[in-house]
Amino acid sequence: MKILVTGANGFMGHGIIKELSKSGNDIIAADFTDFLYDFSHVVSKAGNLFEIDNPYEYYGEPDIVLHLAWRDGFKHASENHINDLPKHYEFIKKMVSSGIKKIVVLGSMHEVGFHEGSINENTPCNPLSLYGIAKNALRQMCQLMVKGTSTKLQWVRGFYIVDNTEKGCSIFSKLIQAANEGKKTFPFTSGINQYDFLDFDEFCKQVAVIALNNSEFSIINACSGKPESLSSRVERFIKDNNLDIKLEYGAFPDRPYDSLAIWGDSTKIKKIMSGEN
């Protein structure tokens, strides 16, 4: 198969493409500039995917599109989420109109909004940030779009990714950055909220397997299925990475739209990872 991955140079792109390259399929890594990494079976294709008239042809008629591209993912109040929404819709629409076999789009647990407990595909969505609103709207539009077509749509809901690189924008990346700068304290919230954390490498494996699988599942959680308090996970991260830094609890207020305890139902992803459809 030929798999197009958009947002290749983004926070998650290189890790997911690395996993996909192990499958032996041909990977087209798409971003504004050439792909920054050298993996087997991966060809770089630079360009602005929103400005290409026939992206299906431009990207070599792929069998699968894995749409990771998204601006300002860590800035939940950015108006770019709403401004870019029609562009994402038009790109995916062009691919569906061209007869693409399968489209996998990366969503977010922030589509759900304030919720206590486990999330599955039937959990009602009432997003409370521009980021969540835009992701939720794109999912709904894509679901309508593929009705009556031969294109399969799979929507991957990401949760909280734990990475140990300073290049990212997550709290874990910021901790690495602060420690490397010699800082001894790190401003923090109360840390009482419980989330679903997944290590970066495991997240990439899950997304890659979802893209390659033949499951009929439409909305899939890329998750651990277990809640853990933010303070516990961050303290463990500090210990595991031998960081000489302490959390300054209460320096930042807790975000009002963050749930006290929210995690993903891992039933589907466990079946997919075990080879069940």
**pTM, to two decimals:** 0.93
Nearest to 92 by CA among 26, 19, 154, 28: 154
Ramachandran angles phi, psi of 86, nearest 5°: -60, -30
Query: What pLDDT shows up at residue 14?
Result: 93
pLDDT at residue 277, as a whole number:
63
Please provide the average confidence, as pLDDT, over all residues in the chain.
94
**DSSP string for residues in 173-217:** HHHHHHHHTT-SEEE------EEEEEEHHHHHHHHHHHHH-----
Alpha helices, DSSP H, located in the chain: 13-21, 55-58, 80-97, 130-145, 171-180, 200-212, 230-240, 267-273
pLDDT digits (tens, 9 = 90+) for 127-166: 999 999 999 999 999 999 999 999 999 999 999 999 877 7
**Which of 87-91, 119-123, 193-197, 258-262 has the lowest average pLDDT?**
258-262
pLDDT, position 11: 87
Asked if pLDDT for residue 114 goes beyond 70, the answer is: yes
**Per-residue pLDDT averaged across 251-273, rounded?**
91
Share of the chain above pLDDT 90, in %: 90
Closest listed residue to residue 68, CA positions, set 247, 203, 263: 203
Q: Is residue 167 predicted with pLDDT exceeding 90?
A: no
Q: Which of 59, 131, 160, 195 is catalytic?
A: 131
> What local confidence, expressed as pLDDT, does residue 219 receive?
96
Task: Output the pLDDT for position 165.
Answer: 78
* Percent of the chain residues past pLDDT 70, beyond the cut: 99
Residue 227: its H or E element: strand 227-229
Write out pLDDT tens, residues 54-102. 999 999 999 999 999 999 988 999 999 999 999 999 999 999 999 999 9
- The Cα-based distances of 73 to 68, 108, 130, 146 in angstroms read 11, 10, 10, 25
Confirm whether 131 is a catalytic residue: yes
Q: Is the pLDDT of residue 169 over 90?
A: no
The yes-or-no verdict on residue 217 having pLDDT over 90 is no
